[in-house]
Amino acid sequence: MRLLNIFAALSGVLALAMLVLAAHALQPAPEDLDRIHLAAYLQLGAATAGLALANRSGRLNLIAGAMILLGAAIFSGTLYALAITHSRAFIMLAPVGGITLILGWVALVFAKPGA
């Protein structure tokens, strides 16, 4: 679960860094700023879930946390790339990230709660 904690924390750092960059350095167009905001808020939510799940035991909690963090990273990364580079080269990864994220949350339905 230590790795889940590390990746969740790094996810939060990246999301906050993107929000700061968007506010101060990038000066993106309004639609690109909306993409960055959506990606960062989604990634922050996933980071929070990952930190909470890192303190739970059980394989399914670990799998759910990893799926939530991975899905958020793929989905958010795609939005960040689109907003910054305007390249649609990786846009097809967004649904993969979104589905992975959703399935991670669904896995929590079946996970045992508690530490």
User: Which residue reads 């946390």 in tokens?
Assistant: 65
- What's phi and psi for 14, nearest 5 deg? -65, -45
Comparing CA positions, the residue from 36, 42, 35, 34 lying closest to residue 68 is 42
Structure tokens at 14: 């990246």
- In angstroms, the CA 63 to CA 58 distance is 9
Note the pLDDT tens digit of each residue in 18-46. 999 999 988 889 999 999 999 999 999 99
30's torsion region: left (phi>0), alpha (psi -120 to 50) or beta? alpha
Residue with tokens 């799998």: 63
Is the distance from CB of 50 to CB of 8 less than 8 angstroms? yes
- 44-73 pLDDT, tens digit each: 999 999 999 999 999 999 999 999 999 999
Rounded Cα–Cα distance for residues 62 and 36 (Å):
28
Model pLDDT, residue 48: 97
Q: What is the pTM of this model?
A: 0.93
Phi, psi dihedral angles at 28 (to 5 degrees): -75, 165
Q: Which tokens go with 29?
A: 């167009």
